[in-house]
Structure 1
């Protein structure tokens, strides 16, 4: 469960918020993958499942776009020694964006559950590595930054129990 983060009041440090956003994205991806059934089952993509997948992909893209245009720029200015790390993370973001485009194209086929599942499995492996690396390298530096989490991270940590099923497809 995530703590609620009201827009007023004391904000959690950005690095901690980054971890919370990553944890939420991990949970949503696990939920999405589980909803597709077994890897060999060839689950049909219902309209609701496709909408949920589109919602997840949009949330992930917003997060990476926010990082690239917000937090990473600020970190590059304040901590130039992190520039090589930031370049690696931006390269990962481009690979993730390509995967998201492939998934989006596959979602057009209601019978494409097996293909979508395979792409989501690959995305899960890539994201776990990416998120872990980013957290190890950037959390302390982000905690020293001040700013709006939506501008810097692409979103804020979700509220208590919030998930894409309720927020994106409701």
Structure 2
């Protein structure tokens, strides 16, 4: 390892990215719950869902392109975990596509709520697994990259 101190605390960057994505999901879920109470909320709901989908996809693209290769290179024992996380990303991408299609088709709030609920369960499981498995490695990770590139523009 280098004697040069790291400028980025990757553990905390990961946690912050997850915190923001959880908040974005909560905003989308709140928009679905309140659709009947607010005027013209369908447009707002589409924006919340689209914004959430774009943010989560960007987060996973950054991890796949920057974080995971660095982890596998520096910690070969993490290769299995990285593979599992990549599988999760593919599954979540499919769920995001289904949510986006439902929102574009003006699906009912109940349908959108079901999409968001299922996505929330998978996403939370993924985030907890990722945090549990990667955080010890992130404390020592040497990666010279912008956190917004690694974890997506949040």
TM-score relative to the length of structure 2: 0.85
Kindly indicate whether residue 61 of structure 2 is the aligned counterpart of residue 93 of structure 1. Answer: no
Task: Choose the corresponding residue for 2:134, options 119, 135, 138.
Answer: 138
Q: CA deviation at 1:110?
A: 2.5
Higher helix content, 1 or 2: 2
Q: CA deviation at 1:11?
A: 4.8
Paired position in structure 1 for 2:56: 60
Sort the Cα spacing of 1:84 and 1:51 in 2 relative to 1 into closer, same or farther, 3 A.
same
Q: Mind listing any 5+ residue stretches in structure 1 that lack a counterpart?
A: 1-9, 159-170
Q: CA deviation at 1:152?
A: 2.2
Q: Distance in 1 between matches of 2:120 and 2:10?
A: 23
Q: Distance in 2 between matches of 1:112 and 1:12?
A: 43
Q: Distance in 1 between matches of 2:28 and 2:107?
A: 16
Paired position in structure 1 for 2:118: 122
CA deviation string 1:5-54 (max 9, x = no partner): xxxxx95401111011101111221121122117xx8x996112101110
Paired position in structure 2 for 1:150: 148
CA deviation string 1:49-81 (max 9, x = no partner): 101110110000000011011100000000000
Q: Distance in 1 between matches of 2:106 and 2:115?
A: 15
**SS of equivalent to 1:110:** coil
Which structure's relative contact order is higher, taking Cα pairs within 8 Å and 6+ residues apart? 1
Kindly indicate whether residue 19 of structure 2 is the aligned counterpart of residue 23 of structure 1. Answer: yes
Q: Distance in 2 between matches of 1:16 and 1:105?
A: 33
Q: Mind listing any 5+ residue stretches in structure 2 that lack a counterpart?
A: 1-5
**SS of equivalent to 1:115:** helix
Paired position in structure 2 for 1:161: none
Kindly indicate whether residue 96 of structure 2 is the aligned counterpart of residue 104 of structure 1. Answer: no
TM-score relative to the length of structure 1: 0.77
Paired position in structure 2 for 1:73: 69
